[in-house]
Amino acid sequence: MTRKHFLVIVMLLCIPAALSAQSAMNTLVVHADAAKDTISRFIYGQFAEHLGQCIYGGIWVGENSSIPNTRGIRNDIVAALKRIKVAAIRWPGGCFADEYHWMDGIGPRAARPKMVNTNWGGVTEDNSFGTHEFMDLCEQVGCEPVICGNIGSGTVKEMSDWVQYLTSDGDNPMANLRRKNGRQEPWKVKFWCVGNETWGCGGIMSAEQYADEMARYSQFVKNHGVNRLTRIASGGLPEDYRWTDVQMKKWKSADGWLQGYLGGYSLHFYTVPDWNKKGSATNFTEKDYFTTLKKTLEMDSLIVKHSAVMDRYDPEKKIGLMVDEWGNWFDVEPGTNPGFLYQQNSLRDAMVAAVNLNIFHKYCARVRMTNIAQMVNVLQAMILTRAKEMVLTPTYHVFRMYGVHQDAVQLPVDLQCESYSGEGGSIPALSASASRDRAGKIHISLANLHATKAQGVRCELKGTTGSTVSGEIITASALNAYNDFGKKEAVNIQPFEGAQLRNGVLTVALPAKSIVTLEVN
């Protein structure tokens, strides 16, 4: 035996002891023998609103910009989005959608009318990024468009015409107008939101009023040719289960009509413990960190409760629960326009992303799409830009590391773990999910939410025996570590050496405040 072999054996023997010195051993059972549902790639969707510098500056710089672009769309952004396999982008809002009149955003740019973006900073919107530009973005990224139609200040005809303009191959006024504007072939549009937050900025409607409007609009949002739309109804406030009940009842009662139309129901939930005191994105304490995680874990019970209502009407799960806005919402960065919602993004955001993605994986039988808010320069962004510079945030790196779960079969997990106690209670110290991809590889994602305590995990793989394990980790020296312009990345994906697989038992040593994805072969 060489000295190297001897050292490796000593190290392996010592790992369990080292783990128990750090903490009580947590256990995770991965049921590879109970795989059933698929984790849709659309769970990894994005949201891009005409808000602050998400579109203008963040995505769109125009063809004459010195920033490298393809037909006005930033090349660096497209390349970064392709790396995380962005599957869908929701556009043009948000609240903006219900003030947006799509015809203002087609035709020669110089002739497009301007408008005031009353929701977001009162700035002038010149409509230079419109339908053709958005569809070009989706084609460059290789993702599906999720278009949010205007119910609040629009008309049924306006929405119906937009669908025809986009997807019809016929000889009709809208398809011909599209051709005149330079696009011969119709596009494919998979997802269509019939309004946004119609209880509030989308029209201040009652649940009953919206149910009627949703049915009326849905009938005129047509499938043209081979295009098949998944129409998504607007949800109520996060905890408004009655709203869900009213929409589902309408769906059920309109047999033959609405049942054929509706494919999704939207839930919006932002991680904001106190809307009057949102706090800084980077200047926070461990107490704030704990409160944020406790809040974000409420996503689990929201999904369970809305799903329970949906199950009563739709036990076959024909309608997907689309969490088409989620993420952290903090105070804007000092000195920036309060209406632009520009915030930095730290290891805390990475943890929130990991926890939510694990929850979405768990409920993937019902949760078919989610769209984090928002893609660039707004709220919990993937990417921040400053002129020609670009920063990939910790949240971006979670999406990149977790990309292995896209379209993989979910493996149910049983997690027994320690608690992490803080202000106002305690939360599980760990969060986990697992899947098996088409090549048969098993991926297990584990997050240690505890700010200061490492955790050992003993993981049993039921129904399979892996022989090798490798991994990646996202962590940093501080909870509020973030990536900034002109600096080396403080938070990124690193190789992870803390997992061992012996006799079918996987042992993992998770550092405090870390997120790990393991690959078992």
Cβ of residue 95: shortest distance to ligand AHR, in angstroms?
4
Nearest CB to ligand AHR, comparing residues 40 and 374 = 374
Cβ of residue 349: shortest distance to ligand AHR, in angstroms?
15
Distance CA 130, CA 145 (A): 13
Contacting residue, 98, 99, 133, 197, with ligand AHR by CB under 6 A: 197
Element (H, E) at 300: helix 298-313
Contacting residue, 174, 373, 381, 473, with ligand AHR by CB under 6 A: 373
Nearest CB to ligand AHR, comparing residues 93 and 273 = 93
Contacting residue, 45, 52, 92, 94, with ligand AHR by CB under 6 A: 94
Nearest CB to ligand AHR, comparing residues 238 and 403 = 238
**337 close to 52: Cβ distance less than 8 angstroms:** yes
Output the DSSP codes for 435-457. Answer: EE-TTS-EEEEEEE--SS--EEE
Nearest CB to ligand AHR, comparing residues 372 and 501 = 372
**189 close to 163: Cβ distance less than 8 angstroms:** yes
Candidate segments 91-99, 179-187, 350-358, 486-494, binder of ligand AHR by CB under 6 A: 91-99
Candidate segments 90-98, 242-250, 259-267, 443-451, binder of ligand AHR by CB under 6 A: 90-98
- Cα distances (angstroms) measured from residue 363 to each of 14, 40, 91, 268, 495: 37, 11, 25, 16, 29
198 binds ligand AHR (CB under 6 A): no
125 binds ligand AHR (CB under 6 A): no
State the Cα angle at 264 between 223 and 369, rounded to 5°. Answer: 110
> Any idea which residues carry the catalytic annotation?
197, 325
Cβ of residue 510: shortest distance to ligand AHR, in angstroms?
32
Distance CA 484, CA 345 (A): 9
324 binds ligand AHR (CB under 6 A): no
Tokens at 392, concatenated: 């990939």
Candidate segments 80-88, 226-234, 372-380, 486-494, binder of ligand AHR by CB under 6 A: 372-380
Distance CA 57, CA 390 (A): 11
Nearest CB to ligand AHR, comparing residues 86 and 373 = 373
Size of the site for ligand AHR (CB under 6 A): 10
Handedness of CA 420, 322, 472, 13 (dihedral sign): positive
Nearest CB to ligand AHR, comparing residues 21 and 237 = 237
Cβ of residue 196: shortest distance to ligand AHR, in angstroms?
5
Nearest CB to ligand AHR, comparing residues 238 and 511 = 238
- 244 CB contacts (<8 Å, ≥6 apart)? 235, 236, 265, 306, 309, 310
CB atoms within 10 A of CB 18: 14
Cβ of residue 245: shortest distance to ligand AHR, in angstroms?
22
246 binds ligand AHR (CB under 6 A): no
> By three-state DSSP, how is residue 52 classified?
coil
CB atoms within 10 A of CB 495: 8
H-state helical runs in 342-465 = 347-362, 394-401
Binding mask 378-397 for ligand AHR (x = CB under 6 A): -x------------------
Name the CA dihedral angle for 334, 337, 339, 341, rounded to a multiple of 10 degrees: -50
Question: Is the bond preceding residue 466 a cis peptide, omega within 30 degrees?
Answer: no
Give, rounded to a whole angstrom, the gap between the first and last alpha carbons of the chain.
27
Cβ of residue 87: shortest distance to ligand AHR, in angstroms?
19
476 binds ligand AHR (CB under 6 A): no
Distance CA 184, CA 176 (A): 9
Element (H, E) at 296: helix 286-296
Distance CA 316, CA 210 (A): 24
Nearest CB to ligand AHR, comparing residues 203 and 498 = 203
325 binds ligand AHR (CB under 6 A): yes
Contacting residue, 26, 164, 196, 517, with ligand AHR by CB under 6 A: 196
Distance CA 87, CA 59 (A): 17
Candidate segments 87-95, 139-147, 424-432, 466-474, binder of ligand AHR by CB under 6 A: 87-95
52 binds ligand AHR (CB under 6 A): no
Binding mask 134-173 for ligand AHR (x = CB under 6 A): ----------------------------------------
92 binds ligand AHR (CB under 6 A): no
Binding residues for ligand AHR, rule: CB under 6 A, are: 49, 93-95, 196-197, 325, 373-374, 379
